[in-house]
Amino acid sequence: MVDDSRISGFYKLSREERVKKLKEVTGLSDEDLGPLVNPGEVDMEILDHMIENVVGSMTIPLGIATNFQVNEKDYLVPMAIEEPSVVAAASNSARMTRDHGGFTATDTGPNMIAQIQVVDVLQPESAKTKIMEAKDELLAFANEQDPILVRFGGGAKDIRIRIFDTKVGVMLITELIVDTRDAMGANAVNTMAEALAPRIEKLSGGRVILRILSNLAEFRLVRVRAIFDRDMLGGEEVVNDIIAAWAFAEADPYRCATHNKGIMNGIDSVVIATGNDFRAIEAGAHSYAAMNGYSPLTKYEKSPEGHLVGSIEIPMAVGLVGGATKVHPAARASVKILGVKTATELGHVIASVGLAQNLAALRALASEGIQKGHMALHARNVAATAGARGDQVDIVAEKLVKEKNVKVERAKELLDELTM
């Protein structure tokens, strides 16, 4: 945790200076940050046990977003992503909320759903009633599978039954709602579902096939709102045009897919940096967005003073215990930089980044277009690829943009001229 996430001119520092600054403001040690700032330090032995047939590792850049304040706490946010502009854009949007109290986040609690699919049920309605009659006993049995989770205040809390008429006949789906506390919860809920299956078969008189969590985590939602300053955004006209851009997404799924993709740029970056399952988050986000016709995950309105009021509501199945978050040394370092104490707190920050990211994209699109900023950053990439280092990167990149010729060949020529 940091006292103040505003670090003026952070982007202007060299990478080494940024690392120094990061240590200074977070109080973290070389040992804490080592595997993140020097990926070569990550013990291959650990990676070798994470998946199968390991031969190496793949590094992607990790940047720090500044300016985030969520529920009155400041956060520096690690973001792992290959796309330029994303980290700068998130930091910039977060800055525009600070005079209006930053981001305010709430949640539904960390409740996951496990599904047990029953087929060949002759009397589905009476099967449903029988299962609901046994609800307390079923919940108690599910909780016997994970006493530690129960000790931490989590565990199976509820059961709901849904009946579908499908292409292969009637199907009865028993859903177990489990508070998974600080775990993402896939292992916990899958274990419970598998354990309950024989009892469900007996009660329903049918045959169980699947026993697996649902990534449509509708009981693990995070809601965030923030006010983005009208003047910092560029005036009331920009505010109106951002709202019009959002309304476009609301009206059209083709635009909405891209709108939500921009949100996920921010969300996935933090999810990846913290070693969480970004496929689960993507599946949850888009399926939740599609529940009542595919819609934007964010909403925008104008305050009486003309400021932009943004909000987001999104499933947020992230954990802090278990999985890569606990095992991968770089992910552990990211969690330390964030200073979050619970999975829910992590979810609050991630959803705030999603809102910030979306606002930045809409603002750029509704004003100068995204290519200008994008090209400036892309040019730095191209300059570095051509071999530019240190100050050379900015000098070459600037010329590439001015010439409107952002190509590696041209960057090499410019670099040759510079070093002659």
Which spans of this chain sit near ligand MEV (rule: CB under 6 A)?
Answer: 83, 258-259, 261-262, 265, 361, 365, 370
Residue with tokens 């994970």, as numbered in its chain? 146
Residue with tokens 């090499």, as numbered in its chain? 412
163 or 365: CB nearest ligand MEV? 365
Confirm if 331 and 275 have CB atoms less than 8 A apart: yes
| From 24, 30, 48, 83, the catalytic residue | 83
- Residue 261 annotated in active site: yes
176 or 361: CB nearest ligand MEV? 361
User: In the complex, what is the shortest distance from the CB of residue 76 to ligand MEV, in angstroms, rounded to a whole number?
Assistant: 23
Distance of CA 309 to the CA centre of its chain: 21
The two structure tokens encoding residue 89: 């854009």
| From 286, 302, 374, 412, the catalytic residue | 374
- CA nearest neighbour of 274 among 362, 185, 367, 339: 339
- CA nearest neighbour of 314 among 270, 274, 366: 270
78 or 84: CB nearest ligand MEV? 84
User: In the complex, what is the shortest distance from the CB of residue 365 to ligand MEV, in angstroms, rounded to a whole number?
Assistant: 6
Confirm if 395 and 416 have CB atoms less than 8 A apart: no
User: In the complex, what is the shortest distance from the CB of residue 350 to ligand MEV, in angstroms, rounded to a whole number?
Assistant: 17
The two structure tokens encoding residue 387: 């071999």
325 or 358: CB nearest ligand MEV? 358
259 or 307: CB nearest ligand MEV? 259
| From 261, 286, 299, 326, the catalytic residue | 261
Residue nearest to ligand MEV (CB): 262
User: In the complex, what is the shortest distance from the CB of residue 260 to ligand MEV, in angstroms, rounded to a whole number?
Assistant: 8
Confirm if 223 and 105 have CB atoms less than 8 A apart: yes
Cα–Cα dist 68/348, whole Å? 11
The amino acid at residue 314 is I
User: In the complex, what is the shortest distance from the CB of residue 277 to ligand MEV, in angstroms, rounded to a whole number?
Assistant: 21
- Residue 348 annotated in active site: no
| From 74, 268, 277, 345, the catalytic residue | 277
Rg, Å, the chain Cα set: 24
Among all residues, which ones are annotated catalytic?
83, 261, 277, 374
